[in-house]
Amino acid sequence: MKSGNSVLSSYGTTIFEVMSRLASQHGAINLGQGFPEGLESERLLGSVSQLMTDGPQQYAPMMGVQELRRAVATHSHRFYGLDIDPETEVMVTSGGTEALADCLFGLIEPGDEVVLIEPLYDSYLPILRRAGAVPRLVRLSPPEWTLPKEELAAAFGPKTKLMILNSPMNPNGKVFTESELAFIADLLVKHDAYCVCDEVYEHQVYDGLRHIPLMTLPGMRDRCLKVGSAGKTFSVTGWKVGHVIAAPHLLQPVAKAHQFITFSTHPGLQIAVAEGLRWDDEYFIGLTRGLQSRRDRLGNGLSAIGFDVLPCAGSYFISADFRALAKRKGFVGDDTEFCRLITMEAGVAAVPVSAFYEDGGVRDYVRFCFAKTEEILDVAVRRLSEYFS
């Protein structure tokens, strides 16, 4: 029998699926895969159930329903002062993951180089390799996750087509500062490169910090493709409604990939997301505030147990060094084994941070998702505390 594509076949099953399956087999609380529980808005669910009955039920326009494209453009102006043309600069996708794949398939030529920062979301490397690009990886390391500017500059070269930048960052919760963004912007201009900006956690930024889209920096409007996800903004990851914002010369080739991959996304879900994006600031402030207090609740609980919890400025996730606890328990093993152990023995699933590195090089940290009800977080902390006491 002939084999499947060698690039994609070389990857195992994604860690998010692996840990979620293990959690369900063992009845564990799932703080592994990043999905919210108990944060979904009743208002949005009400609208969508009405739309499911009333329709539309057929294919949406390829670029997305007009209402949602307009709402995305208005949202970008309201939060970031961006002037976006909803007719030519917004495309709706089936989730942020599809948006990212469309950007890579739409822009990459075989042999192009792509600069990426580790730790990274697991879809980037397989897709860009399948598109024929060569990755140039720059590593951020715990506990500081400082951007190594010289290494980043050295990763750029004449073959660099684009960079992928994820801020707020999964899994480490880093939010890039304005000066880091300015440094990246200079490199992009110097090397005439584009940036795919994965900003799906744009409304998950804490402690009074502000999310700054790279696209808002001088010279970046026509070089950036800004990716968003309603899954994160409205706590409905199963809906898989995302979008890309980019200047027409960038969006056109990306739309070619989209038209042959999914073509369009559920129209009722799009209309409901458009409604949500039009809500007043109270919703967005409330979302951030609620998540920040959950971050602190889980972080304090984990620290009290003996995890060395790292700071988290954004996203759904906190990561923690488990070495002190492992020692206490006489456990010898890496982060993947530790995650399996706590899922099966303590009844709480997490995700190993090594899964976000190509060579799995960082092995002493695990990632917990705090986008859960306070009750779920408290039970998780209690279970871990009992297990390690």
**Residues at the interface with ligand GLN (CB under 6 A):** 14, 16, 33-34, 170
- φ/ψ of 306, rounded to 5, equals 125, 5
Q: Taking the complex as a whole, how short is the minimal distance between the CB of residue 233 and ligand PMP, in angstroms?
A: 10
Q: Concatenated DSSP letters for 135-169?
A: EEEEE--TTT----HHHHHHH--TTEEEEEEESSP
The residue at minimum Cβ distance from ligand GLN is 34
Q: Does 268 bind ligand PMP (CB under 6 A)?
A: no
Options 236-244, 270-278, 349-357, 370-378: segment touching ligand PMP (CB under 6 A): 236-244
Nearer to ligand PMP, 173 or 301 (CB): 173
Residue 255 structure tokens:
């739309």
Please enumerate in sequence order all residues whose Cβ is within 8 A of that of 84, keeping only pairs 6 or more positions apart, or say none.
72, 73, 76, 77, 90, 245
Q: Give dist(CA 128, CA 119) in Å, integer.
A: 16
H or E segment at 168? Answer: none
Structure tokens at 118: 């580790």
- Tell me how far, at minimum, the Cβ of 321 lies from ligand GLN, in Å: 19
Number of Cβ within a 10 Å radius of residue 210: 9
- Provide the H-helix boundaries in 234-369: 248-261, 267-277, 281-305, 323-329, 335-341
Binding site partner of 231, from ligand PMP, ligand GLN, none, Cβ cut-off 5-8 A by kind: ligand PMP
Q: Could you say whether residue 216 binds ligand PMP (CB under 6 A)?
A: no
> Bridge-partner residues for 244, per DSSP?
91, 227
Give me the residues paired with residue 174 across strands.
none
Q: Which is nearer to ligand GLN, 274 or 355 (CB)?
A: 355
Choose one: 79-87, 90-98, 109-117, 328-336; the region binding ligand PMP (CB under 6 A). Answer: 90-98
Which entry of ligand PMP, ligand GLN, none binds 96, CB below 5 to 8 A by partner kind?
A: ligand PMP
Return the one option of ligand PMP, ligand GLN, none that residue 166 interacts with (CB less than 5 to 8 A, by type): ligand PMP
Q: How far apart are CA 324 and CA 310, in angstroms?
A: 14
Single residue of 32, 231, 268, 301 touching ligand PMP by CB under 6 A: 231
Selection from ligand GLN, ligand PMP, none that 16 binds (CB < 5 to 8 A by kind) is ligand GLN
32 forms part of the interface with ligand PMP (CB under 6 A): no
Contact 121, 198 (CB under 8 A): yes
Taking the C-alpha atoms of residue 162 and residue 94, their distance in angstroms, rounded to an integer, is 22
Instruction: Determine, following the binding rule CB under 6 A, whether residue 170 of this chain makes contact with ligand PMP.
Output: yes
Distance CA 176, CA 192 (A): 21
Binding region for ligand PMP (CB under 6 A) out of 202-210, 235-243, 283-291, 302-310: 235-243
Name the E strands within 15-140. 29-30, 90-93, 113-118, 134-139
Largest CA distance in the chain: 60
Decide: is 369 part of the binding site for ligand PMP (CB under 6 A). Answer: no
Smaller CB separation from ligand GLN, 33 or 288: 33
In whole angstroms, how close is the CB of 166 to ligand GLN at the nearest point? Answer: 10
Residue 183 binding: pick among ligand PMP, ligand GLN, none (C-beta 5-8 Å cut-off by kind): none
User: Which residue from 32, 36, 95, 173 is in contact with ligand PMP, where contact means CB under 6 A?
Assistant: 95
| Cα dihedral 333/121/40/302 (nearest 10) | 30
Is position 155 an interface residue for ligand PMP (rule: CB under 6 A)?
A: no
Contacts with ligand PMP by CB under 6 A lie at 34, 95-97, 121, 166, 170, 198, 200, 229, 231, 237, 240, 242
